[in-house]
Chain A
Amino acid sequence: MTPIARASIREARPTLIGVAAIVFALAIWVCAVYPSFRSTLADFELPPGYDAFLGEAESLASPAGFLSAEFFSWIPALWAGVAIAIGTGALGGEESNGTLETLLAQPISRTRVLLEKSITLTTALVLTVATSIPAFAIGLPLGDLDIALWRVVVALGLGALTALVFLALSFWLAALLATRRQAALLATGALIAAYFINTLGAAVPSIDALRPLSPLYWADASVPLTGSFDWWRLLALIATPLVLWVLSWHAFNRREIGSGMSVLRWPWATRAKRAVGA
């Protein structure tokens, strides 16, 4: 492991291990409680319009519907939140606590720093999501959920890709904006917007047209859980992080490290800095 990878993983490790452990336990618990809810949910009818929350799944009582609603409707958003925390921390956090300056004062290029941090955190995030696979391997037979494990693995893969979209977005915003706080706020705002557009769009026809803009829509787990697959959604989940990483690379290479200034030169900000003599 390279020294940058070592440092990055060391800083992100407590968060990732904590989240992996919680989601592991949650996956087993959701599977385990399914038999208790199955009969109750069989008679339960969602109000008109809310059926769309189930995505492609037929009912809340079906294994695909239950897992979509109880696990996949919000866990990918949790992973995305973790991605924002570690992504903004890797650049903006290291810059604000001064360690990025120590790193870049060494004979290494910014491209190498960004690349190694990206690869390390992508791997760590995928492994964090992957810890749910053994949980489902235990949970599916335990809860008598009649659904193939590989379908759940595909759904988890889409969740991991969603997290990578927000990891790349965090890198870009942290490289672009003045502080980690700004980057984290904007990325979290984007996640919340993506979540509400996806969930409310299912019930509110006027914003339904916006759903295809949400990464959480692209990662709709009910699609693989019911046995179908949408290649366009997968393509969007793969292409978006790649584009965002290119943008991150461009912004990070133009960044003035430790200056507390955005790569973007807002005219009003420049005027304000001049006014205070900064």
Chain B
Amino acid sequence: MDDLSLKVVSGEILGFLGPNGAGKSTTIRILLDLIRPSSGSAAILGHDCQRDGVRARESCGYLPGDLRLYDTWKGEEVTRFVADLRRVRVAKAEIADLADRLDLDLERTVGDYSKGNRQKLGLVLALAHRPQVIILDEPTSGLDPMRQRTVWELLRERADEGAAVLLSSHVMSEVETVCDRVAVLRHGQLLRAGPVGELLAAAPARLDISFDGSVPDLASIHGVSMLRSNHRAVSLAFQGDPNDLIRKLAGSRISEIAVRPPRLDDVVLQLYEQEDAA
């Protein structure tokens, strides 16, 4: 990590994005005091993660990217074990409700769980004590689309109740759907951080246009980046004055046009390209 400064506030879901090796998991592990930074500091609700780690983790719920549990234990035993470790009284109804929403059978042995069910148990462990800070590393990995949606709903509910959520994910559509803000990391450095809407607004829209006839010269228009082109169709990214584009297209016969709004993966890829170019 190098010169990373980041803050997650109460009531927001921050998407933590970056390719493998960007430093997402390292940041999370520093927050949990599993590893120590060579310089700098991290704090959770004002408690320094290293010097006052126990207090910092008291208000924290964590789901690691690669959750490992005691394989011979039942799901219910694991939930009781973690509650005892935290020395908090977790309402059985809360655990049962989470398990029910995630469709998880807590009476089964962890070793018999599928990857998705382990993930669900990890989510129950991370959320059951209603933490003020929720840190999740790839929370929907291995879950079916229905349960992914349930997880997104759960996170939104918790954020609406005042929790601060740090969500590390590779799945851009998930981050775009559920997060309020994103922070994009690469090579241990923060490339960009800001509200999802703001990032998307600054990103180019994508147009797929098919022509009845020859394809006009669109590359010369300011703000156009040609993505694909053949003698009948073009795909382009556009971020400029739409009137310039419309005037140019008006002289051609168009058989089909599709405008796709900017997507987060386009924004992130563009950031990587800009960094590579720099």
A101 pairs with B35, CB closer than 8 A:
no
List which B19-36 residues lie within 8 A (CB) of chain A.
Answer: 29, 32-36
A109 pairs with B35, CB closer than 8 A:
no
List which B80-125 residues lie within 8 A (CB) of chain A.
Answer: 81-82, 84-87, 125
B227 within 8 A of A: no
Chain A residues lying within 8 Å of B56, measured Cβ to Cβ, are: 107
Chain A residues lying within 8 Å of B60, measured Cβ to Cβ, are: 105, 107
Q: Given the complex of chains A and B, what is the CA–CA distance between A258 and B32 in angstroms?
A: 12
- CB of B55 to closest CB in A, whole Å: 7
Chain A residues lying within 8 Å of B162, measured Cβ to Cβ, are: none
- CB of A115 to closest CB in B, whole Å: 14
B257 within 8 A of A: no
- CB of A261 to closest CB in B, whole Å: 9
A107 pairs with B54, CB closer than 8 A:
yes
A276 within 8 A of B: no
Q: Given the complex of chains A and B, what is the CA–CA distance between A258 and B33 in angstroms?
A: 11
Chain B residues lying within 8 Å of A101, measured Cβ to Cβ, are: 34, 64, 68
Chain B residues lying within 8 Å of A98, measured Cβ to Cβ, are: 64, 66-68
Chain A residues lying within 8 Å of B86, measured Cβ to Cβ, are: 106-107
A119 within 8 A of B: no
A3 pairs with B84, CB closer than 8 A:
yes
B68 pairs with A97, CB closer than 8 A:
yes
Complex interface bits, A11-24 against B, C-beta within 8 A gives 1, otherwise 0:
10000000000000
Given contacts A4-B85, A256-B36, contact A105 B57 (CB under 8 A): yes
A108 pairs with B54, CB closer than 8 A:
yes
Given contacts A6-B81, A259-B35, contact A107 B68 (CB under 8 A): no
Can you name the residue of chain B whose Cβ is closest to the Cβ of A111? B54
- CB of B124 to closest CB in A, whole Å: 13
B85 pairs with A3, CB closer than 8 A:
yes
B58 pairs with A107, CB closer than 8 A:
yes
- CB of A216 to closest CB in B, whole Å: 34
Can you name the residue of chain A whose Cβ is closest to the Cβ of B87? A107
A256 pairs with B84, CB closer than 8 A:
no
Q: Given the complex of chains A and B, what is the CA–CA distance between A11 and B82 in angstroms?
A: 16
Chain A residues lying within 8 Å of B201, measured Cβ to Cβ, are: none
A123 within 8 A of B: no
A228 within 8 A of B: no
Interface residues on B, range: 20 to 34
B69 within 8 A of A: yes
B54 pairs with A109, CB closer than 8 A:
yes
B67 pairs with A107, CB closer than 8 A:
no
B69 pairs with A105, CB closer than 8 A:
no
Can you name the residue of chain A whose Cβ is closest to the Cβ of B62? A105
B81 pairs with A99, CB closer than 8 A:
no
Chain A residues lying within 8 Å of B55, measured Cβ to Cβ, are: 107
A102 within 8 A of B: yes
- CB of A175 to closest CB in B, whole Å: 14
A104 within 8 A of B: yes
A75 within 8 A of B: no
Can you name the residue of chain B whose Cβ is closest to the Cβ of A254? B36
Q: Given the complex of chains A and B, what is the CA–CA distance between A151 and B53 in angstroms?
A: 49
A124 within 8 A of B: no
B67 pairs with A102, CB closer than 8 A:
yes
Can you name the residue of chain B whose Cβ is closest to the Cβ of A277? B21
Chain B residues lying within 8 Å of A6, measured Cβ to Cβ, are: 81
A257 pairs with B34, CB closer than 8 A:
yes
Can you name the residue of chain A whose Cβ is closest to the Cβ of B58? A107
Chain A residues lying within 8 Å of B64, measured Cβ to Cβ, are: 98, 101-102, 105
A264 within 8 A of B: no
Chain A residues lying within 8 Å of B54, measured Cβ to Cβ, are: 107-109
A7 within 8 A of B: yes
Q: Given the complex of chains A and B, what is the CA–CA distance between A3 and B80 in angstroms?
A: 9
Q: Given the complex of chains A and B, what is the CA–CA distance between A256 and B84 in angstroms?
A: 25
- CB of A135 to closest CB in B, whole Å: 30
- CB of A254 to closest CB in B, whole Å: 8
Chain B residues lying within 8 Å of A102, measured Cβ to Cβ, are: 64, 67-69, 82, 125
- CB of A50 to closest CB in B, whole Å: 47
Chain B residues lying within 8 Å of A3, measured Cβ to Cβ, are: 81, 84-85
B53 pairs with A109, CB closer than 8 A:
yes
B34 pairs with A7, CB closer than 8 A:
no
List which A70-125 residues lie within 8 A (CB) of chain B.
Answer: 97-99, 101-109
A105 pairs with B32, CB closer than 8 A:
yes
A258 partner, pick from B34, B70, B82, B125, beta carbons under 8 A:
B34
Q: What are 20 inter-chain pairs, A to B, with CB distance below 8 A?
A: A2-B84, A3-B81, A3-B84, A3-B85, A7-B70, A10-B72, A99-B70, A102-B64, A102-B82, A103-B85, A105-B60, A106-B82, A106-B85, A107-B85, A107-B86, A109-B53, A256-B34, A256-B35, A257-B34, A259-B35
Instruction: Enumerate chain B interface residues (CB-CB to A < 8 A).
Output: 29, 32-36, 53-58, 60, 62, 64, 66-70, 72, 81-82, 84-87, 125
The 6 closest A-B pairs by CB, nearest first: A98-B68, A3-B84, A107-B57, A107-B58, A256-B35, A257-B34
* Given A3-B84, A102-B68, 11 further pairs, Cβ under 8 A: A3-B85, A7-B81, A10-B72, A98-B64, A98-B67, A99-B69, A102-B125, A107-B55, A107-B58, A254-B36, A258-B34
